[in-house]
Amino acid sequence: MTIEEVREEIDRIDAGIIDLIAARQAAAVRMAHEKYLAGAAVRDERRREALLKKVFEIAVEKQVDPVQVRRIFEILIDMSEERQREWTGEGNLP
């Protein structure tokens, strides 16, 4: 394989990652609706920690740096919470 071919492969993988991030954000909006109806807070500390623990374990299994994977998911969850706050208006002053 040439450098160009590997770069093309990386570009395809990156586009797939962005599609998945967009899908995750769309699910976050659906979650925002449900939380709004239920009167639930955007941040769920227990779920957040359980999810971060799970991805850490999966990364260990897959032999990718678990600390960095956890950091990536912290960012993804932060993005999700930010999107949910836009939809629920949580934190907005009256």
Ligand X SMILES: O=C(O)C(=O)C[C@]1(C(=O)O)C=C[C@@H](O)C=C1
Of the candidates 30, 33, 47, 54, which one interacts with ligand X according to CB under 6 A? Answer: 47
- Using CB under 6 A as the binding rule, whether residue 90 contacts ligand X is answered as no
Q: Determine whether 34 is exposed, middle or buried from the number of CB atoms within 10 Å of its CB (0-12, 13-18, 19+).
A: exposed
**CA–CA separation, 9 and 65 (whole Å):** 21
Subset of 14-43 contacting ligand X (CB under 6 A) = 28, 31, 43
Tokens representing 54 are 């799970």
Min dist. Cβ of residue 65 to ligand X (A): 20
- Using CB under 6 A as the binding rule, whether residue 53 contacts ligand X is answered as no
